[in-house]
Structure 1
Amino acid sequence: MTNDVPLSGDKYVLPRNESEFERLNLQHKYIAKVVFDGKLVFDKSIKFDDKCCVLDSGTGTGIWAIELANGVPDFVEIHACDVSKANFTPDPPNNVHFSVASVTSLPPGWSNKFDFINQRFLLGSLLADDWHQALSEIYKVLKPGGAVQLVEFDARSPAPETPVHAQVRDAVWRVFDALGLKYDVAVHLSEMLETAGFVSVVEEIRRLPLGKTWGEIGVQGTISLGGSLRNVCGVMVKAGAVSSKEEYENLMDKLEEEWDIHGNNYPCYIVCARKPL
């Protein structure tokens, strides 16, 4: 991993280190299986043909872009951007191009460049006021007729709503709200895309299983999403939501015990849309 200086305005609440690199890659496999039925693109009508250009926005490690490159012809040009390069996978395929760029300010040279854009799980990255600007930028860099795929989970709505789960949910919600992050963005994606000018907006909800009750996939969910909750510990302590790292880790231990017993899940929203021709 490289230690660079992220772009100004970077509000990411998770760390950028080896542990988070591994968690993000496991989370990708988990999401691909439970949300996308083992695929990378939800809309089955999407085809990656000659001169096709793709963007993975908020790419993290770049795992989505790299796996796409491994499954499409070499002539498909794939760009992957993030506000920091600290978690970029070294030595990507030749047709994957990493860039340090924010979705709220994409390079001017990318206007009308992309046929398809993927973006997922930025609820801990974008301020509430940034989302409309981000979707405006996505609209700008898509070709007319191009498609966007957004994926976010609704962290407010665990099912079942068990006591510790509700306690952690409410604490994180308060902190995100204090930081200006849009904790409920998943349920507003469709209307925000329509406001930004997109058409053919389609929304589907899948469930993210958590805990041993769901078998191996539930264990992956605990490591993936539970890991992300554990990794916001520093933000939780700094904001005063908990008194210490030890208190928060003890709370997370109890939460994962609940998941194992009750088989909890989060709703995950997949929203697809197109830029008008």
Structure 2
Amino acid sequence: MPPMASTKETLAGGNIGPVRHQRHDSYLLPTDTIEERRLLEQQKALSELFGGRVLIAPVQLSPGSEVLDVGTGAGAWALAVAESHPGAAAIDITCIDIGADMFPKQHPPNMTFQVASALEMPAEWTNKFALVHQRFILSGIKYDEWEQDIREIYRVTEPGGWAQLCEWNSVVYHQEQEAAGSIGNSKPGPAGTKVMNLWMRLGEKNGVDFLCPKRIPGLMEAVGFVDIRREEWVVPLGAWNGDLSKTFAENLETVYRGFKNAVLKQGGFGVVQGGEDYDALINEVVREWAAGPGGYDSFVVFVGRKLQ
């Protein structure tokens, strides 16, 4: 496994290459200033990992184009588009989420933030957006809601427009490596394995699908998207591999700590007995990452085009 790795694959019809508060019962992470800061730092790290790209979809945005950011959170991706895309001031960016807790207090005038569900967007948005972006909502919707989510994304995408969906892929990555017998140095340590198992148990208990990246391309094709393409990035965790790997380790540590209340609410699944036990487990995971190869993070982006 190289220090950083990425893969690209065309999948269908393609010729393109304190108490931390919850915002919704289905959302497993808190919505506080810690999470807001994490999301903004995550955007910077992902942009570097993606080679400086904010737009992975090969969409051409012209003056008057409209962009939708679904599950915007703190608006990190949308703000990056506004800051980095040539001519961004001439496009309209709409950002939605199921709660307004983390919406930025300041943003460019061509950006609009509103509370709306990805599963039931306004009827008047049909065929409206040149690009629909969605990222990291796997912990916020149920297994059986994914089909409706992607159907809604297809509906609001304009004919000829693009969807760009990014999800956390680490559980899938480790399962695939183990199945192929090539886990090697990417095998998590004992504490990392425990946390991964906790995640899976938490997902099952809450009806959340941490393996959703396996299903997304099929769901996109089923609703009508074409030219579906998949790109995956794998990054080692820990300062031993440089600043970017250190940043991703710190970011994932914050995620792990953010799941604490959700895990304890379910009694710890027989893995941890209480808050101090959970904290000690995460501390051990961080030590494993710092010790050298063993912890890896993985991200996957799917893009697809709506027929004219």
TM-score normalised over the length of structure 1? 0.93
Tell me if 1:207 matches 2:234: yes
Letter in 2 for 1:39: R
Determine whether 1:221 maps to 2:248.
yes
- What is residue 60 of structure 2 aligned with on the other side? 47
In structure 2, the residue matched to 1:251 is 281
Tell me, in whole angstroms, the C-alpha distance in 1 between the residues paired with 2:195 and 2:45.
22
Gaps of 5+ in 1: none
Q: For residues 165 and 196 of structure 1, what CA distance do their matches in structure 2 show?
A: 37
The one-letter code matched in structure 1 to 2:289 is W
Tell me what 2:177 maps to. none
Q: Which amino acid aligns with 1:168?
A: V
Is the alpha carbon distance of 1:262 and 1:188 closer, same or farther for their aligned partners in structure 2, counting shifts above 3 Å?
Answer: farther
> How far, CA to CA, are the matches of 1:63 and 1:107 in structure 2?
23
Distance 2:52 2:275 in 1: 36
Coordinate RMSD, CA, aligned:
1.6
Aligned partner of residue 87 in structure 1, secondary structure: coil
Specify the SS of the correspondent of 2:84.
coil
Aligned residue in 2 for 1:110: 125
Deviation at 1:10, TM superposition (A): 4.6
CA contact (8 A) 1:155 1:169 kept: no
Measure the CA separation in 1 of the matches of 2:141 and 2:170.
15
Question: Which residue matches 2:193?
Answer: 166
User: CA separation of 1:105/1:10 partners in 2, compared to 1, >3 Å: closer, same or farther?
Assistant: farther
Bigger shift: 68-77 or 153-162? 153-162
Cα distance in structure 1, aligned partners of 2:112 and 2:84:
16
Using the alignment, how far apart are the partners of 1:180 and 1:102 within structure 2? 18
1:48-63 correspondence to structure 2 within 5 Å: 48-63=61-76
Deviation at 1:209, TM superposition (A): 2.9
Cα distance in structure 1, aligned partners of 2:231 and 2:240 = 24
1:5 & 1:261 partners in 2: Cα distance? 33
Percent of paired sites with the same residue: 29
Aligned pairs, how many? Answer: 270
Whole-angstrom distance in 2 between the partners of 1:32 and 1:126: 25
**Runs of 4 or more above 4 Å deviation:** none
> Residue 265 in 1 paired to residue 296 in 2?
yes
2:22–2:29 CA contact under 8 A, matched in 1: no
In structure 2, runs of 5+ residues without a counterpart are: 1-20, 175-185
CA displacement, residues 27-70 of structure 1 (integer Å, 9 cap, x when unaligned):
11111111x21220113x32211221001110010021112112
Give TM-score scaled by structure 2 length: 0.84
